[in-house]
Amino acid sequence: MSGPGGSFLARALRHRSFMLGGALTVGMLGMAAISLFWTPGEAISLNVAHRMRPPSLEYWLGTDKFGRDIFSMLMAGAQNSITVGVVAVSIGLVAGVILGAWASAKRGWIEEAVMRFSDFSFAFPAILSAIMLTAIIGPGGVTSILAIGIYNIPVFARLTRGVANAVWAREFVLAARAAGKGAVRITIEHVLPNILSIIIVQATISFAIAILAEAALSYLGLGTQPPQPSWGRMLSEAQALIFLAPMQAIYPGVTIALSVFGLNLLGDGLRDLLDPRLARKR
C-alpha cells in the first residue's frame, strides 16, 4: 500500500499524531498483557493490613482502602476494558457490517428496514440498554458487552451501507455484475475490500467510545463486578474517599483519558494514512 510521499510505513512514521496515538495504545495493550502474568503488587485479593498506603517503591501508586496495590489494579483494569471493548466492538462490527452490506446489496425495502432500525436504535444509548439488561440479567461484564455491542450495531450498519452504496455504483462492480457474479460474491470480492479501511478507522474510534462507556457502566455498578478490577469502579470507590485520598480519584481517570486519547489519535491518524483522499481535504 504505497501512496504519494513514500510507503505506508514511511508516511506512518512521519505522522505525529498517529505515532503518539499508536504509542499510547501499545502502552495500554502492553499493560494489560503484562498483567496477565505479572503485576508489581496484589490487584485482586484484599490485605487490610496494608490499606491506604502512600506511594512508595513497594506500592508505586499506593494502596486502596482494602490494601490492594493501585498500580496493579490499573494494569488489571486495562485487561477488563480491552476485553469488554474488543468483544463489544466485534459484536457491533460483525452484525453491523453484515446488515449494512446486505442493505446495500439488496436495496429496496430491506435497505429501508435496516435504516429505520438504525434510526430507531439511536434512541437507546448504551446506558439505557445496560439499565434494561441489568434489570433482566443482572449487572456484570456481559451486560456491558451486550449493551455496548448493541449500541454499535447501527453505527457500523449505517457506515457500511453508506460507503458500500458508493462502491456498488463504481464501474468495476458494474463490470462484475455484467460478468454474472452474484451479490454475495461481489460483496465479498469487491465491496468489503474497498470499505475495509473505513471500517478499521471506525472500529478504532468505537473502541475508544466503548472504553468510556464501560467505565461509566462499571462506575454505576452495572458493569464488571468485584473482584475483577475495573477503572470505572476504582473511580466510584475513590470518590467515596475523596476528602481522604484525592489522588486515588486521579489515577484511574488519567489512565482512561490517556487510553481513549491514544485510540482517538490512532483513529484520526489511520484515517489520514489509509485514505489519502480524505487527508488532502483537511
Cβ distance to another protein smaller for residue 70 or 167: 70
DSSP-assigned states of every residue in 2-52: EETTEEHHHHHHH-HHHHHHHHHHHHHHHHHHHHTT--SS-SSS--GGGTT
3-state secondary structure (DSSP) of residue 225: coil
- Does 261 bind another protein (CB under 8 A)? Our answer is yes
Question: Residue 180 has which C-alpha cell?
Answer: 454474472
Residue type for position 229: P
**Contact with another protein (CB under 8 A): which of 18, 41, 219, 233?**
219
Confirm or reject binding of residue 128 to another protein (CB under 8 A).
yes
What number of chain residues touch another protein (CB under 8 A)? 45
Site membership for another protein, residue 135 (CB under 8 A): yes
Among positions 119, 172, 185, 188, the unique one binding another protein when judged by CB under 8 A = 119
Of the candidate spans 78-86, 92-100, 106-114, 260-268, the one that interacts with another protein by CB under 8 A turns out to be 260-268
Name the residue nearer to another protein (CB basis): 119 or 189: 119
3-state secondary structure of 107: coil
Q: Is 169 in the site for another protein (CB under 8 A)?
A: no
Examine residue 243 and tell whether it contacts another protein (CB under 8 A). Answer: yes
Residue type, 138: G
Give yes or no for residue 60 binding another protein (CB under 8 A).
Answer: no
Given the complex with another protein, which of 103 and 212 has the nearer CB atom?
212
Are 151 and 213 in contact, with CB atoms under 8 Å apart?
Answer: yes
Asked if 120 interacts with another protein (CB under 8 A), we say: yes
How many Å apart are CA 61 and CA 171, to the nearest integer?
Answer: 59
> How many beta carbons lie within 10 A of that of residue 128, not counting itself?
12
Kindly give, in sequence order, each residue whose CB lies less than 8 Å from that of residue 195, ignoring residues fewer than 6 positions away: 160, 163, 164, 167
Q: Residue 30 corresponds to which cell in the numbers above?
A: 502492553
122 near another protein, judged by CB under 8 A: yes
Binding flag, residue 198, another protein (CB under 8 A): no
Please report whether residue 19 would count as binding another protein according to CB under 8 A.
no
CA separation, residue 133 to residues 139, 149, 219, 222, 223 (Å): 8, 12, 16, 9, 11
Considering only 7, 9, 246, 278, the residue that binds another protein (CB under 8 A) is 246
The CA-based angle 30-35-37, given to 5 degrees, is 115
Considering only 260, 266, 270, 273, the residue that binds another protein (CB under 8 A) is 260
**Peptide bond before 276: cis, by omega within 30 degrees of 0?**
no
Counting contacts by CB under 8 A, is residue 216 touching another protein? yes
> At 42, which amino acid appears?
E
- Determine the interface stretch with another protein among 65-73, 77-85, 119-127, 159-167 (rule: CB under 8 A): 119-127
Q: Is 144 in the site for another protein (CB under 8 A)?
A: no
Give contact residues for another protein (rule: CB under 8 A).
4-5, 116, 119-120, 122-128, 131-132, 134-136, 208, 212, 215-216, 219-222, 232, 235, 238-239, 242-243, 246, 249-250, 252-253, 256-258, 260-261, 264-265, 268, 280
